[in-house]
Structure 1
């Protein structure tokens, strides 16, 4: 049946019943999982090229990748095997196009016994290099650490929303590609190394974070640890809210459909950013350009009182009454006619003047959200004469949209599209992660406080609901790390470079619960790439602790203000 894990009939002919017993991930009352055991691949990659097999799967190529052909932060990645293939090729009965789930798998010669599923961002449609990287400038990745890593296109081979006309492609994108690929990659790993992965992990940011959050509920019996970045786990509603925000910005006098930035210019954004910092920067004990206690900031900063109002024309030193009204509505979260929020509110943070903010609020509604909502998320999709993107008018869709109707459509179904996007794109009961919890699984979630498209408030609300569901004990298996100043997955006025995979592994396999994660800034000499939005008065190697919610990084009052050691999570 589509959407369920495929039968392991072929797998059973390839490995012993003892192996099947060993890889079974049935729920257990045991809270501690055993560590992975490394294995070395002795044979050459090309030697098993004709031996790999799994049902409904085609292997296109198996090749050796020499040490140093790939690197991360200037460090050579060891020799490994690259496997490319696809699953479930078919012809759509709706749009007549061919579809398949494309993938690549990288298998280290020196394997650490672990698998990582690399979930990708955007609307997928491309098989990205299976490296298993994470936020900001990379300092390491899963492949470098010795993981076997899989990456996929989630069931369509172009990053265009037109795949949304095929009902099965929608479901594959939402969650079923993961359901098909997971038993397949575990089988291939077993065929190559002689055993299945001892431990399996799932990681991604943005839509990849959504994939990870979905997997933590739908496939919690198949994965042991989940690293979730900026999870747009209610992505259809976030996209509709961004369209609603564009319509609000258009209402500011002097703004046109071709230039939404005229509603709230970069100069005006910097004005507000400065005002937010003036009110909130010192709440953590140090004025350093980072607002650690963003929740307290929302009660201290007042847009109307703390930002000058224009008496005459706009000159960048003030906001008009119309601007304040619109900005307040956007950050409070656009609402339906009945007063309910479409999605979530967004906190005021220093990053309101990040370039990322401009792109997501002014460009993305027309260039991204319009296509995703109209073709993938709503039921039925918009009527296009030949199902081609060239026939679609993004600005027309956005600026003529009835937001209440769009929300109804992302919850709708019909004869062809029998699962609504708010089902296939979202976790099942996200506040209930008891299956993962009971079998010893762990989840770590990070989210930029200045993320302009998926709100850190939405993620905080999820974590608090999870904690309530677990009677205040969610921290025993789940952690949420807000990243002050960080934009969407990376960048902004932030320390956005950190390794959260290593502490996740140590938590899952050794029971070492993280107390903090050290993050660093990315100056011009950073081997993982520079963050061009770093303030000039910051050290290029500034470090800070990322603290698990609800604790906040607070200055100790006497240490070096550029060093993480001078802060405590409290």
Structure 2
């Protein structure tokens, strides 16, 4: 079995070689007479840095460049690409390393930005510092942040569907993906920053959505000493449990899907686009005005749960365009109720009904568009590969050709297979729930004690990670810390799909909000948000305040429904 090269050892080694590296309780480090000299971009090598188990490609001096998409434009900067902990696996015989990229702008603002990943990672994305929300017109690098990204400790392979998950056969690669890549790259990047700029970062931030949001929550728990501010968007922090939901959904959809000549389900056709529009329209009709404004947005999902009854969608007779068949209603209730075992025990969260379930962003994840027996939804492809290889122990080797992945999902047993997300073996000594989730998501004592801040946001129409799971986390945090709102705030976003999209005001800036909270002590009482022209939102000029949970946006009773100034954040009556 592989020797484990974990973050703690790297931190200790870097602490010995380079001091604190910045972003600690004492503030940025100041060069002293014994500090090693600064390195120009062209002179940065692994030998010059003296960091153990580091390999660097030749550094690149990059000139400022504009792009058609301003979020892809770059300032003049130094670009480094490297690998840490290069090794060969004793389990699957393949080569592994933690790949990363670090970009350091010439005009540095003194801040470090760790860019979260997505999906099963497997590639080093350009470290530009993608901002949160949709429609960004810049990036963190252009704002002056030094930015790092990582591939999660593995490289995706070319096999269809499962190629991004084959690393799950290697136990160390699982751990690297779950948390160790972030824990290893962070101190390495900070040590390089100190040699390049001659001082450590004044403040350090972690920003990500989806799996990057999960990484952000893990960082808040495992690596809180490394970050001052954290933004976690649509976080799948219980990702193995959400992966169980993927099997649950596919089984529910398959039960009501039309069949091929070979009696195989065509899952995308279990619910047509018209069917899901009907669900969205009826949900809005029942719930829209519960928040005091008939504006096409459901700001009170708790009241909506009581007001909207999916049974009311059932056709009195044969299936028609204006109703759902009784089996479809049962499947809908099953999907939104969340997975359960044979005893009726919940295996993941339930889901709110919301206006965004009719969008292509929802369908792309849940149902897909394939008209064949091989589904193309992301829960059947990305989820279908990761559940057998990464999120259960021991991993199950499923080929990505033909119907093998969907057959695995349709055969998944919620009594015998689902517990494997908690299982270990002598080879796989950390369970998927152990390496993927924060050790205790509500224990943010270190972040709180050092004055760190955290913003979490989640779309109410997210089709892959339930906003109700994130709400349950925040409720637990408030029980554990009576002063939770002093260091962590949750913003739920009506209508928004996964990280963006949907009939929502999904254009917002969480990065400025977290910087102001960390550096100026200005806690976000609300965050301005806007709808975007050309998006799923039918009101392209609309603005709204995003409110910290449990507050909700309420119309003041006068003025345009399109203008945020006519709304305020209030705590609904319990």
TM over 0.5: yes
Tell which deviates more after alignment, 256-265 or 475-484.
256-265
Output one character per residue of 1:36-56: Cα deviation in whole Å (capped at 9) or x when no partner. 99xxx9986324457444211
Distance 2:290 2:394 in 1: 48
Offset, 1:329: 1.5
Specify the SS of the correspondent of 1:226: strand
Considering Cα pairs closer than 8 Å and 6+ residues apart, tell me whether 1 or 2 has the greater RCO. Answer: 1
Output one character per residue of 1:169-210: Cα deviation in whole Å (capped at 9) or x when no partner. 000000011121111111000010111112111111111111
Offset, 1:74: 6.8
2:207/2:213 contact within 8 Å kept = yes
Superposition map of 1:319-468 within 5 A: 319-362=324-367, 363-383=377-397, 389-390=400-401, 393-468=404-479
1:82/1:106 contact within 8 Å kept = yes
Output one character per residue of 1:470-513: Cα deviation in whole Å (capped at 9) or x when no partner. 13x21011100001100001111111111101110111111111
Specify the SS of the correspondent of 1:364: coil
Distance 1:248 1:371 in 2: 19
Distance 1:408 1:75 in 2: 43
Partner of 1:317: 322
Q: Does 1:566 align with 2:539?
A: no
Q: Does 1:495 align with 2:505?
A: yes
Per the alignment, do residues 330 and 103 of structure 1 end up closer, same or farther by CA in structure 2, a change over 3 Å counting?
A: same
Distance 1:35 1:127 in 2: 28
Offset, 1:70: 5.1
Tell which deviates more after alignment, 547-556 or 259-268.
259-268
Q: Does 1:126 align with 2:131?
A: no
Superposition map of 1:185-204 within 5 A: 185-204=189-208
Per the alignment, do residues 383 and 75 of structure 1 end up closer, same or farther by CA in structure 2, a change over 3 Å counting?
A: closer
Specify the SS of the correspondent of 1:131: coil
Specify the SS of the correspondent of 1:5: helix
Partner of 1:112: 109
Per the alignment, do residues 12 and 267 of structure 1 end up closer, same or farther by CA in structure 2, a change over 3 Å counting?
A: closer
Q: Does 1:236 align with 2:236?
A: no
Offset, 1:75: 8.7
Partner of 2:293: 286
Partner of 1:5: 8
Distance 2:184 2:358 in 1: 42
Distance 2:176 2:428 in 1: 13
Offset, 1:68: 2.3
Offset, 1:88: 0.7
Distance 1:96 1:131 in 2: 33
Per the alignment, do residues 84 and 518 of structure 1 end up closer, same or farther by CA in structure 2, a change over 3 Å counting?
A: same
Output one character per residue of 1:90-117: Cα deviation in whole Å (capped at 9) or x when no partner. 0000111000111111101111111111
2:116/2:212 contact within 8 Å kept = yes
Offset, 1:423: 0.3
Output one character per residue of 1:434-490: Cα deviation in whole Å (capped at 9) or x when no partner. 11111101110010000011000000000000001113x210111000011000011
Distance 2:15 2:382 in 1: 44
Which of 76, 98, 102 in structure 2 is aligned with 1:101? 98
2:28/2:199 contact within 8 Å kept = no
Output one character per residue of 1:488-539: Cα deviation in whole Å (capped at 9) or x when no partner. 0111111111110111011111111111111111214xxxxxx2x222xx1x
Partner of 1:263: 270
Partner of 2:490: 480
Which of 75, 78, 95 in structure 2 is aligned with 1:78? 75
Per the alignment, do residues 328 and 73 of structure 1 end up closer, same or farther by CA in structure 2, a change over 3 Å counting?
A: same
The unaligned stretches of length 5 or more in structure 1 are 27-32, 525-530
Offset, 1:542: 1.8
Tell which deviates more after alignment, 247-256 or 97-106.
247-256
Q: Does 1:304 align with 2:304?
A: no
Offset, 1:78: 2.0
Tell which deviates more after alignment, 140-149 or 415-424.
140-149
Distance 2:391 2:115 in 1: 23
Which of 257, 274, 281 in structure 2 is aligned with 1:274? 281
Specify the SS of the correspondent of 2:83: strand
Which of 65, 70, 74 in structure 2 is aligned with 1:68? 65
Partner of 2:137: 139
2:530/2:544 contact within 8 Å kept = yes
Distance 2:421 2:551 in 1: 36
1:84/1:103 contact within 8 Å kept = yes
Which of 219, 224, 231 in structure 1 is aligned with 2:228? 224
Distance 1:433 1:402 in 2: 35
Which of 39, 42, 46 in structure 2 is aligned with 1:46? 42
The unaligned stretches of length 5 or more in structure 2 are 31-36, 157-162, 368-376
Distance 1:212 1:187 in 2: 21
Per the alignment, do residues 42 and 493 of structure 1 end up closer, same or farther by CA in structure 2, a change over 3 Å counting?
A: farther
- TM-score scaled by structure 2? 0.89
Per the alignment, do residues 424 and 11 of structure 1 end up closer, same or farther by CA in structure 2, a change over 3 Å counting?
A: closer
